[in-house]
Structure 1
């Protein structure tokens, strides 16, 4: 039991799933197909590799660990999207054409399908036949953040583990214990991490991210104070250029304007997240009305929702910035 637990070392906040997989190994009740579904950053991929490590390590845990981490184990096959999707050709060649070859040195042969939701229906139907006829040693792990994109027949033939976003207090505690952050900073990052420990670690690293946020706030303050339409569109262009990190910036702005609202209402640092930026908060709260702040927060919420579907993103950004500029 302890040896298998060591394989899952470093995974936090998903104890129920670790326990379920560990018991399955101990009881020798391994399914042919698993689905690890949940939001990005919920450690689905890390769990898949940890599960593979536990199944493959057998009598040589340290040696096999090294090769698994380097994607160099003969009985572990990774399938990634080619371009925007996983092609039917990949399923045929990498799984169907390979799974009948017995494991080289382990009791199992494991296939990890990353971003499984990118498979089209033909590819999924091809995979389904393999799930129904898989040899005893074959284990297929599908990783997805969009369970509804998988065929019901695949879901019904798989053991489905649903990963939940980590609780803020779990992330906060991790950042304090393992990243050495002070409580206030750990709390701020945990609120912006959206349940993702990977994102929290990224946010905790270095001053570059903090300086970037400060620069963004200075751009917004310039719009507020100078009422400069050129700044509106240049800042809009800047945010569009950060498309890959826009969700992170929107989360930051949501917390920032929430702090402004709290400061205007209570004038107390106790409930403010960005305590170190009190002077900047004072400037924003001086120029913005309560209605503007509430409307801006609503705009950010709409952007976060629309971004998932790529709907009028640039228009949403410019609407928010123009609202900031209002008298």
Structure 2
């Protein structure tokens, strides 16, 4: 245990930070005439063939009168159909520019809400990785459009989101927010997660693996570790200070943990370092050990729940 709980704050504050000047992107930024309200991702993940069969439901409000077409960032996957309220819509994929243009079946005025459904399949070129029996997403800073159609701007947040993922029955799926249900279909299971807080596309995630689950708590909120089964004992030690870190930051920032009605979790995957996905941080599986050597990493990623997840970059 730490002698001073707020040593965690010092550790976080001393880590090198990345500015927007360090991020380069060749993808054009398009003017868009809508506000995303909700994303729902439905994905059937084939671990062996490293592909997906998927549907994305994007609910938006028009921000102009007479909206008759809509663009989403999207590329690298085969579109099977585009719909609104069951009506088939015409569309054009612009692979080089990495977006899809959809012609709407009627005009929408300011404030009118509608949902676009895009059915698609394929092997994602980015964002979703398959490695060491894992399937996991890594969308920072604007890679989500390789996995689903969206407005892929790090500063833009939907009001809420859902992630529904089907995997082999021995797998578990960890994602944002609260687990609503698990449907067992024999040799496959479907996990349905719901995020009730505003979320940016680069913070939406899922991790698929035959996880073991370590559980602590903070103010009755679950503090979870989704870890490899052979790391289970070490993970209890690895994570025993996590709730204390949350308490430290809530005290120092004078703001309660921003997603207190849901959870804080880490999910291992084969990466270097970590990624502060909202309520479900990715942590490299090689860092899990039976001591506190990597408390600095846990503290750093946890602090991003306030600065990165709750408050997200605009530039």
TM-score normalised according to structure 2 size: 0.25
Q: Choose 1 or 2 for highest CA Rg.
A: 1
User: More strand per residue: 1 or 2?
Assistant: 2
Q: Which has the higher helix share?
A: 1
TM-score, scaled to structure 1:
0.25
